[in-house]
Amino acid sequence: MVTGAGSGIGLALVRRLRAGDIPVIAVDRNECPIEGVWTIRCDLADPEEIAAAVARITGPISGVANVAGVPGTAPAATVLAVNALAPRLLVEGLLDRISSGAAIVNVASVAAGRNTQPPESIAALMAVPDSAGIESWLREHPIDGPAAYDTSKRALVDWTRALSGALIPRHIRALSVSPGPIETPILADFTTSMGAEAIARSASAVGRHGTPGEVAAVIAFALSPDASWVNGIDILTEGGLLATRSTSFPALKGFSQ
């Protein structure tokens, strides 16, 4: 099952999986255009629609990729609902249908590193059961859309790590993948919410932005049996962006131009 399969990284992942003749269920507001894919239309900001989508999916499920996400240009409640609550509701709802040996991959972001909420607030966020719970959390932790994006991704990384530990007895892996800026349809939204200069600096640091296919390749590997001993980690997929910001060591002579 792949969420966000109508465009961007999710679509690139479905294309890669179908090239390997792997059956895919797409969960998205829009139809996945890849032939042979069953799309379940679902607004991932609505827990009731998520529950209805889960009810339509039978098992066994060999992998779950929570790729769908909304940027910080959306209202904070929507950002938290889609990016943090929806993956948890989907996994909890489908858990009895996920096979032993399966993998759950949640797409987070390097933006998780900008989160300013303390661990106890993150834990409280990942315990909310519904939209009303998100609204209640926001009343106690008033943040705007861009900050909600950072927090949602931090929560997703932390929850994924906890999930991986809980699922070890069932032989189900869970890990996250954190891209940097990627050339997707919502890159313009990130330019708006994070600032054009910040996005441009990222591209300048590593030479370009990433492509959906490059991130999809990492997710596909994480889902596959080839990654059977990879569990409970966050895989940075950002072309070395964070490494360019390291200042702990002096420059290596002869390696930079």
Listed by start position, the domains of the chain span 2-238
Tens digits of residue pLDDT in 111-128: 999 999 999 999 999 999
Tens digits of residue pLDDT in 36-63: 999 999 999 999 999 999 999 998 999 9
| pLDDT for res 1 | 97
CB 69 within 8 A of CB 80: no
Q: Which two tokens stand for residue 237?
A: 């997929």
Q: Place 24 in a pLDDT band, splitting at 50, 70 and 90.
A: very high
Share of the chain above pLDDT 70, in %: 89
- State the DSSP string of 37-67: PEEEE--TT-HHHHHHHHHH--S-EEEEEE-
Query: What predicted TM-score, i.e. pTM, was given to this entire model?
Result: 0.90
> Does CATH place domain 2-238 in 1.20.810.10?
no
Checking if the pLDDT of 241 tops 90, the result is: no
Distance, in Å, from the CA atom of 139 to the CA atom of 77, rounded to the nearest integer, reads 11
Checking if the pLDDT of 252 tops 90, the result is: no
DSSP-derived secondary structure letter, 250? P
Q: Place 208 in a pLDDT band, splitting at 50, 70 and 90.
A: confident
Checking if the pLDDT of 25 tops 80, the result is: yes
Q: Place 240 in a pLDDT band, splitting at 50, 70 and 90.
A: confident
Distance, in Å, from the CA atom of 154 to the CA atom of 121, rounded to the nearest integer, reads 11
Checking if the pLDDT of 189 tops 90, the result is: no
CB 174 within 8 A of CB 164: yes
